[in-house]
Amino acid sequence: MKNKKILVICRDNIGDSLLATPLIKQLSRSNEGRIDILTNSYASPIFDGNPYIGKVWIYSKTKHCQNRFSALKSLWDRARLCLALNREKYDCVVIAKSLWDKHSLKWAKIIRAKEIVAFGNDRHPRITRLLPVQDSKLHVAEVFFNLAKGVYVDAMEPEELDIYPKTELVDHYRRVINNKDNQMLIAIQISSRKQCQRWPLESFISLVKKIADRTSFRIVLLWSPGEESSLTHPGDNIKAEMITSACKDINLTPVYTDSLEDLKAVLANCHAMVSSDGGAVHIGAATGLPVVAMYGNSDPANWHPWKVPHCILQGIDNNVSNITSEQVFKSLISLLPAIPEQKNDNSPERQSLSGPDFMATEKFQRSGV
């Protein structure tokens, strides 16, 4: 496969989009043509700055529109996008899903590519390369990566996830956090879209106090701003305010992340992360952070933080509320020796790890790279 013009369709949310980046990198390296992306407006910042991508085509899902006017504008913009995509004359469309669906195939049909590659059990006359459904035990990054076989690319194993925060935003949040004492920065991300993935307010407060009492770390509290009733992404303004108030004497810096670009940039300044499973976990992993991830009804085998040291905690009855703050704290401590001295050339210097604060007092489930 050389000099093909390829479009990868990534219609899903943040985590799925990030987990497709090893596939995109492999296709780009193996193809002397270009790799373009079709994605939705919600997940599109995931691909910003990625050097393995040519053009990013963006559409808005109607469920993300705030009112009827924006929904109508979205439909008009989508019609114009369809015409533009059709003019591109792509050689190949790759549907980045574990199973092709009618929505992705509708886009592929509009584009009129010579080849359409997808996973599935059911054949369709438009799909020229139907690959068998993958083993349910595989990680989603591995599943997506195997789509490369459909475009005749041989590859051994998916590499790390790719994400590229904006340098000016990374510098901005470095000034906001103002870590002048060069302390270890622990990001605690409190927002989650699914109810069964939302850790209780009391547990977050307890964890923050444990970290403050038992370590010299500094905490960066992150959340998605907005009201809990939001249909697209419930926010946690009130929860963040209550945590900050209860921990006002603790070295804690609250930072609301109004966009994915903000979240990418803040995490680029941190050294480890605690979060429920969701898009933020995968952004943390893509940034190279060791992650303590709490899981409700999603399967960690498919969705664990990819290619970084991590601890997985799954709640009894698939509910994260049954995970204790002590479990999370000890899991965090057990990860810290895995943190390198330098995160990357552009990040703040990491604090040297030694002494009793970094000793794990109890063994919990831990999966490495």
d(CA 314, CA 323): 7
The answer to whether residue 272 scores a pLDDT higher than 50 is yes
**Residue 311, token pair as written in the block:** 């601890």
d(CA 367, CA 284): 16
For the ranges 47-51, 111-115, 278-282, 289-293, which has the lowest average pLDDT? 111-115
User: pLDDT exceeding 70 applies to what percent of the chain?
Assistant: 86
The answer to whether residue 350 scores a pLDDT higher than 80 is no
DSSP line for 245-280? HHTTTS-EEEEE--SHHHHHHHHTT-SEEEEESSHH
pLDDT of residue 61: 66
pLDDT of residue 69: 54
Distance from the Cα of residue 349 to its chain's centroid: 24
pLDDT of residue 316: 87
The answer to whether residue 345 scores a pLDDT higher than 90 is no
DSSP line for 141-187? HHHHHGGGGGGT---S----------HHHHHHHHHHHT-TT-PPEEE
Q: Per-residue pLDDT averaged across 260-277, rounded?
A: 96
In terms of pTM, does the model score above 0.85?
Answer: yes
> Do the Cβ atoms of 50 and 75 come closer than 8 Å?
no
Taken in order 189, 190, 196, 199, is the CA torsion positive or negative?
positive
Distance from the Cα of residue 95 to its chain's centroid: 19
The answer to whether residue 56 scores a pLDDT higher than 70 is yes
- pLDDT of 306-329, one tens digit each? 999 999 999 888 889 999 999 999
For the ranges 18-32, 61-75, 83-97, 242-256, which has the lowest average pLDDT? 61-75
d(CA 139, CA 305): 10
> Do the Cβ atoms of 170 and 267 come closer than 8 Å?
no
> Do the Cβ atoms of 367 and 338 come closer than 8 Å?
no
pLDDT of residue 79: 87
Strand ranges across the sheet with 272-276: 252-256, 218-223, 185-189, 272-276, 291-295, 310-314, 366-367
d(CA 29, CA 153): 10
Q: Max CA-CA distance within the chain?
A: 64
The answer to whether residue 193 scores a pLDDT higher than 70 is yes
The answer to whether residue 2 scores a pLDDT higher than 90 is no
Query: Number of C-alpha atoms within 13 angstroms, CB side, residue 142?
Result: 16
Phi-psi region for residue 238, left (φ > 0), alpha (ψ -120 to 50) or beta? alpha
- In the DSSP assignment, the letter for residue 235 is -
> Do the Cβ atoms of 292 and 174 come closer than 8 Å?
no
Q: Per-residue pLDDT averaged across 240-250, rounded?
A: 95
- pLDDT of 134-184, one tens digit each? 999 999 999 999 999 888 777 779 999 999 999 999 999 999 999 989 999
d(CA 2, CA 56): 21
The answer to whether residue 120 scores a pLDDT higher than 50 is yes
pLDDT of residue 232: 60
Distance from the Cα of residue 200 to its chain's centroid: 22
Q: Per-residue pLDDT averaged across 247-264, rounded?
A: 94
Higher pLDDT, 360 or 319: 319
Q: Nearest 5°: CA angle at 323, between 321 and 327? A: 155
pLDDT of residue 174: 97
Higher pLDDT, 296 or 343: 296
Q: Per-residue pLDDT averaged across 198-207, rounded?
A: 96
